[in-house]
Structure 1
Amino acid sequence: MTATLADEIRARLAVLAPEAIDIHDDSAAHAGHAGAAAGGGHFDVLIVSEQFTGLNSLARHRKVYALLGDLMPHRIHALSLKALTPDEL
């Protein structure tokens, strides 16, 4: 079985010990878009982790981007991110 980019995103984010993670590949909805034409995917990610406790939204996003940054902008063209603590669900 071949791993997808969503599988790779999930594997990389595992270090944050997420209690929940939902990755939705919206790439097909952006067919013909300049970034999509170059092969970059569009993803919506919801991640819930205790490791976000005490961090503001910017710091949470930075933690995620530190893990995925090398995938952007070529493999991931657009990333919509929602990073929550378990208490914020």
Structure 2
Amino acid sequence: MLIVLILAGFAVAVVGSIGFIGLTIPHVTRFLVGVDYHSIIPCSAVLGSLFVVFADLGSRMINPPYEIPLGALIALLGVPFFLYLARSKA
């Protein structure tokens, strides 16, 4: 489990929060639409883009007229889910 967390942290450190979205959103999509890759891939693209748009809107609306960094908000929303994935046996 420690190796998985270190590798995921390294990937996010290299490519930023977009890589973190790429690690978590396909798992969320698989929970929602099943295991058929013909539907996972387009739904992952749509859900990932919607997640970024709504996180951006949230980061602008939480403390106006200032903005919270988008990567910080994405991390606050995604880290608990990623830790759940890292701890689960599935």
- Select the structure that is richer in helix: 2
- Select the structure that is richer in strand: 1
**Structure-2-length-normalised TM-score:** 0.28
**Structure-1-length-normalised TM-score:** 0.28
- Greater C-alpha radius of gyration: 2
RCO greater where, 1 or 2, for CA within 8 Å and sep 6 or more? 1
